Chains A and B, each alone.
Chain A
């Protein structure tokens, strides 16, 4: 999964949790949200996904297929039956490929501008967290041991697996805990060390943080913000999750001490705030105080009812299945050219189909054309508005860019047949008229040549003793006509719009290359136009 995929998939999850949080904050245990945030964190930081048929992304890709692909196909399928009955034209709509782009996607260079911008943001964010932390850490190190019998006794009765130090500092205003492996609870010097009830509440709160590894959670939250700094939802998550960690901890304190301690605990919080603001000249109305949210949450804490517990479980299980998973991968499996199994892992969504939508006449439909081609000096002829191409009997490729006046030899690259077989599986996965045949030809050692034109246009030429077969790649729809040893193929610039000019030029080309006589060309051209006009609900002839 790419960073962008991770960030997008996590965003929907974050929005869902925000809604749950808004509706249910005082109704379900606060731990519910902490657990949900942990799943988002996992999603944000771990670059692989768990496929599930119930994922929201399954629904998304399903919808996409309905919206994007179906209309095109419907146009074909509605009418193609008559054509098939007619038994003259075989349609090969190839738009609904489930494949990734055909052209090998250019690997992003490690210093592409986007990567660079991301890196700058990442470093800035990381420094934004690390520098203040290191400065505070240095301050915390200057703390002193606490001289208090109550604390010493408390520590003995509440020992954890990790050794916890409790120290005192006059440079902090609120109690805090730092360190993950060797945690230190730091108490401000100003708190009332005689008030044992308050001290007990504070220490219990900090020990719960330690037991739950909340410092680690906060670091992971910070890490996810650094990595996904461009995603505002992740920032929102950072702030809400930090609050939820506190709220959940408060809740646990109350459960430990009992509900009767609610007001005492809330008052302790306010007293700490009072100490903090005592001499502070700062009046800051930047945001709604988290203290108020905490106090409300504390005062509203009730015994967890079974209903609330079930609700929490349903929310976690439900939203994790729906949002934390991804759509299952489509797996296309097919025998490769070398007989080995080739497994292609397609993406959930349908992507750009680079194979042109074409109208194909097989050798049974156009026997005369194929015969004449085989009898001529050429094995294949192709044209579009930019390039004319012909392949001679000795497999030389000749290209003309001035409508057939001057021809020059083109030196095409050889392509490994196995790679091409894989490419074909990925890009033309519909078992068409030629797939089986093509595979057996590749298996028997057919040669594959590759031509790259401008604008992403490409051509693969498969050659063996039976003749030549050409596969076209067109990132944009291009009007073209192709005749090779197996078929005549017309592609459209606009769906089902056949360019009469293009067809006319093609017949001219066949004549000028001595494949057809002028009379034969005129007859065949008229026959084709007539055929299309008879099926005018299907095709439009344009100039």
Chain B
């Protein structure tokens, strides 16, 4: 089975794969130093990993334990997820009103020809 993870989630998994089981507090300290995340941001990402079943929480002290190996993880496909998350969300509406819509292959080819013709 493959779990799809974002880079941010992978970043936390890397810590667990390298250092073994780690408390959430310690993870937050490491990420703050290395990638500049706030404690809240780190906890949010840990929560996402928990939800996806990539890690489990062990008490006491909120110890994080990796449930998947590096080989079992796939990179999350951005476009796929963004489409799922943002269809129908207000900012998609604004974007489409602003004309920031996704272009089709034909439209993109047409734009390329347009640039060439104007050169």
Contact = CB atoms under 8 A, between A and B. Distances in A.
Nearest to B80: A279
Contacts of B35: 144-145
A142 B40 CA distance: 10
A131 B92 CA distance: 12
B6 A239 contact: no
B78 A171 contact: yes
A280 B105 CA distance: 10
Contact of B107 (A129, A133, A190, A289): A289
Contacts of B108: 270, 273-274, 277
What's the interface size class on B, roughly?
Answer: 35 or more
B110 to A, nearest CB: 8
A34 to B, nearest CB: 16
A297 to B, nearest CB: 11
Given A138-B44, A142-B6, A287-B96, A267 B90 contact: no
Interface string A495-511: 00000000000000000
Nearest to B75: A170
A293 B114 CA distance: 11
Given A136-B91, A282-B101, A284-B101, A299 B118 contact: yes
B98 A277 contact: no
Interface string B21-42: 0000000000000011110010
B51 to A, nearest CB: 14
A72 interface: no
Q: Which of B38, B41, B76, B108 has the most CB of A within 10 A?
A: B108
B39 to A, nearest CB: 11
A242 B98 contact: yes
A250 to B, nearest CB: 13
A284 B114 contact: no
B111 interface: yes
Contact of B44 (A136, A142, A266, A273): A142
Interface in A224-240: 239
Contact of B11 (A144, A242, A262, A300): A144
B103 A173 contact: no
B115 A299 contact: yes
A239 B90 contact: no
Contacts of B98: 239, 242-243, 287, 290
Contacts of B37: 141-142
B97 interface: yes
B21 to A, nearest CB: 22
A454 interface: no
A128 interface: yes
B50 interface: no
Interface in A293-349: 293, 295-296, 299-300
B101 A281 contact: no
Nearest to A189: B7
A295 B111 contact: yes
A132 B118 CA distance: 38
B27 to A, nearest CB: 14
Contacts of A266: 115
B45 interface: yes
Given A144-B11, A144-B35, A169-B7, A270 B96 contact: no
A108 B79 CA distance: 51
| Residue with the greatest number of chain A CB neighbours at <10 A, chosen from B35, B102, B118 | B102
Nearest to B89: A132
Q: Determine which residue in A168, A170, A266 has the highest number of CB atoms from chain B within 10 A of its CB, and name it.
A: A170
Interface in B81-119: 81-83, 87, 89-91, 94, 96-105, 107-108, 111-112, 114-116, 118-119
A291 interface: yes
Given A173-B78, A267-B115, A295-B111, A243 B99 contact: yes
B41 A284 contact: no
A277 B104 contact: yes
Given A287-B97, A291-B111, 13 more contacts: A131-B90, A136-B91, A141-B38, A144-B8, A165-B36, A170-B7, A172-B78, A267-B112, A281-B83, A290-B99, A291-B103, A296-B118, A299-B119
Interface of A: 128-129, 131-133, 135-136, 138, 141-145, 165, 168-173, 188-190, 239, 242-243, 262-263, 266-267, 270, 273-274, 276-284, 286-293, 295-296, 299-300
Top 8 closest pairs, chain A to chain B, by CB: A290-B99, A132-B91, A142-B8, A299-B118, A284-B101, A279-B79, A280-B102, A170-B7
